[in-house]
Each structure stands twice: as structure tokens, then as C-alpha cells.
Amino acid sequence: MTLRVVFMGTPDFAVPTLSEIAGHGHEVVAVYTRPPAAAGRGLELKPSPVHRLAERFGVPVHTPKTLRSEEAADLFRSHDADVAVVVAYGLILPKPILEAPRLGCLNLHASLLPRWRGAAPIQRAIMAGDEESGVCVMRMEEGLDTGPVAMCERVPIRPDMTAGELHDELMRLGADLMARALAALSRGALAFTPQPFEGVTYAPKITNDEARIDWTRAASHIHNQVRGLSPFPGAFFEADFGKGRERVKVLRTAQAKGAGAPGTLLDGQGTIACGEGAVRLVQVQPAGKPVMGGADFLRGRRVASGTTLT
């Protein structure tokens, strides 16, 4: 059975799911996404990735700043949708919106609920050193990612996996999962299980302070911090290399052998002493510069072994 679907999403993560839904023959009657945002040097307003795909499909696009008005609720109800599919949309859905589709609102969430409810589940899972992640299809309620879960797929988090790599795996897996969920929903065969009360954790947005590397922390913590924030927003440190303080984004590290005062360069391979153990700078990006190897960067700045990066 073909479903009338309202799709609600904004970033790249949501694009494959919209494409998959349309490819399975469902009628996407409207797309909701965040308004165009200023980007680039000219601060030109650019539509979201979902917005651009919807236009290619010829689907009407709505970009409200809020869904809490009566006008927004009336417009949403006018779509006469069977179901709303929500993937990283970016706005809270109030009760009138949640109750409008005949079969409810389904959310694709990038974690194994109830672990990592909230805005940054991919980054938080890696920063915490989790060995497993996944995607879930849940029915939305007014609470933050509290609804019952219908389907999940699991993914191992490899020891050096970055948030960007996990994002891409979950993005592809999630699109297929949602397509299967809609197929089951159309047959009346999609069953939901309430989330357990045990194991609930939250994934708030990443703050700038969390992105700053503190060399007094253990090497395992710093390694997880770096890969959990790579490629965006990027963990960073600041140091004076002789021309004033410079911010350096660290995109990849490897745990290494070595010890010394935290922040000390231990060798010519870019190994930095931490509060416990050491990490090797594998890939860095100086402000305004291209990505380069960590050792190459330090040699270019003429940083000698024994120097402390402060």
C-alpha cells in the first residue's frame, strides 16, 4: 500500500531516507526543512540538502521558523498525510503536529535508544568510548526521544572510527531501515515496544569548551574526543609557534607509547604526552589551511622534541 508521507529533515543525514521513501513509491506530499542559512564567504542564503533534493523531486517545500502557531498546524493538517517521517529536522513538533498524521510520526534516530537521546548521539557515543551504535525507528511523543521503538539496526564502532565515518554508515543503514518500517506500517504490521527506563543517557549539543583538547587528560579520552568531533566541529588546541597563538584542529590521532609532561612533543612523529599515556597527531588542520599530517605540520612549524605545546 502506498502511503501519503510528509517528510521532515534538514542535513545530509536525512537525504538518503527521503530518496529511499520516494524510490519505494510512497507519495511524498510535502517536505519540511529548516530555512535557508547564510554560508560561505559571501554569506549567501543556501537551502538545506533536503530542500535541494525535494525541489529536484518536484515536492512542495515548507521552511517555517516554528510549528507552534495555529496557522502551521492548519497547513500541516491540510496535507492529509498517513504518516510523517522525521530525520534530523531541527524543530520540536508540538502536539497538534504529532497528532495530525493518521498513522502518527516516525523518527529515525541515530543511536540505540534509550542511550543517547538528544541532538548529538553520534558524537557522544564515540566520545564516551562506546563500542556499538545504531539507528532506531521510533514513534514520536512530546518527550525528547522517549517514544516506543519499532525497529533497530546495530553497528560496531571501530577503535579508530570517526564521527564522520559512523555518520555515513548510519545514514545509509537508516534509509533502508525507514523504508522497511514504512512497508510494515502500510501492512499494519509495525509493532512498537516501549523504551526501558534503565540505560537512559542524553546527548546534548557539543559546546566549544568540549572541543578544546586538554593535554592533562588521559590519552584514551583525547583519542575519543578527537574522533568523536571529526570532521565537525573538530577538537582543537592552541599554541604559540613563534608568530602568536595559532589554533590547530586535530582530525585524527592514534594512541601511542610515551610519557612526559602533558602537552610535550616526544618525537619527530608527532607524539604528544598526555596526563596518562600519549597520542600521535595523525591528521591536523591549521586555521585557514588544508588538512595535513601531524608530523609534517610540526616540522613545518619547527617544533623540536621536548617542546611543550601551551
Q: What is the 3-state secondary structure (H, E, C) of the chain?
A: CCCEEEEEECCHHHHHHHHHHHHCCCEEEEEECCCCEEECCCCEEECCHHHHHHHHHCCCEECCCCCCCHHHHHHHHHCCCCEEEEECCCCCCCHHHHCCCCCCEEEEECCCCCCCECCCHHHHHHHCCCCEEEEEEEECCCCCCCCCEEEEEEEECCCCCCHHHHHHHHHHHHHHHHHHHHHHHHCCCCCCECCCCCCCCECCCCCHHHHECCCCCEHHHHHHHHHHCCCCCCEEEEEECCCCEEEEEEEEEEEECCCCCCCEECCCCCEEECCECEEEEEEEEECCCCCEEHHHHHHHCCCCCCCECC
- Give me the CATH code for the 4-186 domain, please: 3.40.50.170
118-158 pLDDT, tens digit per residue, is 999 999 999 999 999 999 999 999 999 999 999 999 999 99
Q: Which CATH class is domain 208-300?
A: alpha beta
Given a contact cutoff of 8 angstroms between Cβ atoms, the answer to whether 309 and 222 are in contact is no
- Each residue's pLDDT, cut to its tens digit, for the chain (310 residues) gives 899 999 999 999 999 999 999 999 999 999 999 999 877 777 788 999 999 999 999 999 999 999 999 999 999 999 999 999 999 999 999 999 999 999 999 999 999 999 999 999 999 999 999 999 999 999 999 999 999 999 999 999 999 999 999 999 999 999 999 999 999 999 999 999 999 999 999 999 999 899 999 999 999 999 999 999 999 999 999 998 888 899 999 999 999 999 999 999 999 999 999 999 999 999 999 999 999 999 999 999 999 999 988 7
Give the pLDDT of residue 44. Answer: 85
* Residue whose C-alpha cell reads 543503514 in the numeric block: 173
List the chain domain ranges.
Answer: 4-186, 208-300
Residue 242: its pLDDT value, please? 83
pTM of the model: 0.95
